[in-house]
């Protein structure tokens, strides 16, 4: 992957939601664990609420205009092996996921879209 291309990007809708969540909850982080159903969706937590460790990879520090600090995007190593050839695009869609992600009460959920790195 090129050094100029970010590994993780945000859609404008995702950035807008992150600004609202930051105002309500303070500094934020993402973690995508893998698995089925909502486990394959990125979960947004207050920074530090989800403990990361040796089985996780920090893919990005996302800069969002209007948010004071970068938002870390973590992924489990096993999930990263599957997604390593793609650029991840964090988007927002209507509907509530069943996870513990901060956006659930908003009636929306974060979703990953992807592009092949060389595409």
* Neighbouring C-beta atoms of residue 4, cutoff 10 Å: 5
* pTM (whole model) above 0.85: yes
Closest CA to 32 of 119, 93, 113: 113
Tens-digit pLDDT profile for residues 75-101:
999 888 888 889 999 999 998 776 789
Tens-digit pLDDT profile for residues 2-39:
455 678 999 999 999 999 999 999 999 999 987 655 55
- The pLDDT score that the predictor gives to residue 2 is 42
């Amino acid at each position: 992957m090129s050094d100029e291309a970010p590994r993780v990007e945000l859609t404008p809708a995702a950035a807008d939601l992150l600004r609202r969540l930051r105002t309500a909850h303070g500094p934020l982080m993402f973690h995508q664990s893998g698995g089925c159903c909502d486990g394959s969706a990125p979960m947004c937590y207050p920074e530090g609420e989800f403990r990361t460790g040796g089985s996780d990879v920090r893919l990005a520090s996302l800069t969002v205009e209007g948010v004071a600090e970068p938002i870390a995007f973590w992924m489990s190593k096993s999930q990263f092996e599957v997604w390593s050839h793609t650029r991840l695009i964090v988007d927002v869609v209507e509907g509530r996921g069943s996870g513990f992600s901060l956006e659930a009460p908003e009636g929306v959920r974060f979703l990953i879209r992807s592009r092949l790195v060389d595409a």
